[in-house]
């Protein structure tokens, strides 16, 4: 190893010494071919790495990369110097020239959608609440009636962090935190980011926003829940909005339903899942100290991105996060 390390030291020293004497572009190109070209001296040294002992290869390989980077960096610096451009290149600005007019700023389409949706539910009597994005196991799973062996806890479906914490996978966590500190009756909405390691496609993203709704009172039924969701759809999207509920399963609601809405995706109208809903499971009420014999509740969770896509005719959720000004200027 010592022999090859010495070869690398000598190669770097001689290369930099020759480069310091380069005075024009043709000499610089000749130096590049001699040291960095496909048949240059650096490439000639690389095959010798296979003869180095296995235990010593990491150190030799590291040094080889360092020499390569040093020569490439020195080459670029010399090239810039020959063009008369220094590291602190000065640009002359005509202070009398009129500036470029900047357009007025505007809120992101997701921020606008959150405000609009929250306002619609506020008119129905819901109060906005918030909760943390980094959650513990109790609020994200246990209190929501998910036992230790529930598949929703699988690490492949969640983002876990140090200290037994995780990035919340649903805004249902805010339900628990609200009920823990508030006596019923309750009627709240919570909007925020949630995180799931989904594969990105036109309707899925690994970080997205939900609006969670929760109502707890003495005589609530599934009809109340359906009325709220259908009235929201008609109020926000217009009388022509098509929405449906179909049977589903969630540990924290019983009975449960999926909420779908007709959306235009790739120029075709199709049913797209907006979220889930149902009557609050009695076990969830017990976990926060509510008596399920006295109180009943309903809950729903809807995806803000999909609401925005339906509202503004956006066919790919990924466009909302690419920060392309041409796309954002449309809203």
CB 182 within 8 A of CB 131: no
Contacts of 168 (CB under 8 A, 6+ apart): 131, 132, 133, 134, 135, 139, 140, 192, 194, 195
Distance CA 302, CA 214 (A): 12
* Main-chain dihedrals φ then ψ at residue 235, nearest 5 degrees: -70, -40
Mark out the alpha helices in the chain (DSSP H runs): 2-20, 25-36, 41-45, 57-82, 109-123, 137-140, 172-181, 222-237, 282-287, 304-312, 325-328
Rg (CA), the chain: 31
Domains in the chain: ranges and CATH: 2-82 (no CATH), 109-328 (3.30.930.10)
- The answer to whether 252 and 299 have CB atoms below 8 angstroms apart is yes
How far, in Å, are 156, 166, 247 from residue 163 at the CA level? 18, 9, 37
Check residue 209 and give its pLDDT: 96
pLDDT at 262: 85
Q: By C-alpha distance, which of 145, 138, 135, 137 is closest to 249? A: 145
* Residues ≥6 apart with Cβ < 8 Å to 252: 144, 145, 146, 172, 175, 278, 280, 281, 284, 299
Distances (CA, A) of 40 to 25, 32, 37, 49, 51: 18, 8, 5, 16, 20
d(CA 279, CA 245): 13
Say what the pLDDT of residue 125 is.
Answer: 95
Q: Select from 152, 164, 162 the least CA-distant residue to 250.
A: 152
Question: b or e along 60-99 (b: 16 or more beta carbons within 10 Å of the residue's beta carbon)?
Answer: beebbeebbeebeebbeebeeeeeeeeeeeeeeeeeeeee
Rounded to the nearest 10 degrees, the angle between the axes of helix 304-312 and helix 222-237 is 40
DSSP secondary structure string for all residues of 92-105: ---TTSPPPPPPPP
pLDDT values of the chain reduced to their tens digit, one per residue, 331 residues: 457 788 888 888 888 888 888 888 888 888 888 888 888 888 888 887 777 777 777 888 888 888 889 888 988 888 888 876 554 555 567 778 888 877 777 889 999 999 999 999 999 999 999 999 999 999 999 999 998 888 888 888 899 998 889 999 999 999 999 999 999 999 999 999 999 998 898 888 999 999 999 999 999 999 999 999 999 999 999 888 888 999 999 999 999 999 998 887 777 788 888 899 999 999 999 999 999 999 999 999 999 999 999 899 898 999 999 988 888 888 8
Residue in the block written with tokens 């959650």: 135
Which residues, listed in sequence order, are joined to residue 128 by a DSSP beta bridge? 189
DSSP per-residue letters across 151-218: GGG-GGGSEEEGGGEEE-S-THHHHHHHHHH-PSPEEEEEEEEEE--PPPBTTB-SEEEEEEEEEEES
Query: Which is it for strands 127-129 and 186-195: parallel, antiparallel or unpaired?
Result: parallel
**CA quadruple 89, 94, 97, 102: dihedral sign:** positive
**What confidence score (pLDDT) does residue 92 get?**
67
What sign results for the dihedral spanned by CA atoms 116, 239, 229, 122? Answer: positive
């Amino acid at each position: 190893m010592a022999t090859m390390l010495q070869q690398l030291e000598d190669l770097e020293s001689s290369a930099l010494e020759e480069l310091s004497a380069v005075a024009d572009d043709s000499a610089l190109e000749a130096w590049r071919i001699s040291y960095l070209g496909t048949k240059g001296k650096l490439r000639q040294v690389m095959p010798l790495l296979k003869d180095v002992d296995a235990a010593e290869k990491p150190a030799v390989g590291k040094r080889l990369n360092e020499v390569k980077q040093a020569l490439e960096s020195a080459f670029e610096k010399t090239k810039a110097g020959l063009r008369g451009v220094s590291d602190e290149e000065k640009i002359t600005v005509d202070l009398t020239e009129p500036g470029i007019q900047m357009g007025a700023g505007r809120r992101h389409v997701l921020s606008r959608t959150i405000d609009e949706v929250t306002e619609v539910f506020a008119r129905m009597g819901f109060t906005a609440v918030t909760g943390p994005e980094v959650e513990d196991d109790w609020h994200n799973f246990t209190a929501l009636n998910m036992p230790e062996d529930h598949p929703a806890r699988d690490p492949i479906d969640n983002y876990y962090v140090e200290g037994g914490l995780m990035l919340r996978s649903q805004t249902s966590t805010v339900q628990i935190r609200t009920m823990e500190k508030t006596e019923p009756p309750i009627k709240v909405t919570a909007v925020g980011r949630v995180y799931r390691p989904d594969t990105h496609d036109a309707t899925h993203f690994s970080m997205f926003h939900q609006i969670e709704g929760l109502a707890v009172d003495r005589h609530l039924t599934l009809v109340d829940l359906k009325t709220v969701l259908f009235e929201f759809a008609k109020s926000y999207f217009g009388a022509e909005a098509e929405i449906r509920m179909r049977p589903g399963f969630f540990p924290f609601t019983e009975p449960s339903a999926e909420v779908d809405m007709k959306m235009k995706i790739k120029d075709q109208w199709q049913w797209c899942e907006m979220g889930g809903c149902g009557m609050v499971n009695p076990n969830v009420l017990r976990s926060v100290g509510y008596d399920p014999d006295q109180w009943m509740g309903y809950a729903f969770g809807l995806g803000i991105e999909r609401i925005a896509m339906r509202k503004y005719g956006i066919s790919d959720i990924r466009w909302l996060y690419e920060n392309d000004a041409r796309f954002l200027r449309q809203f």
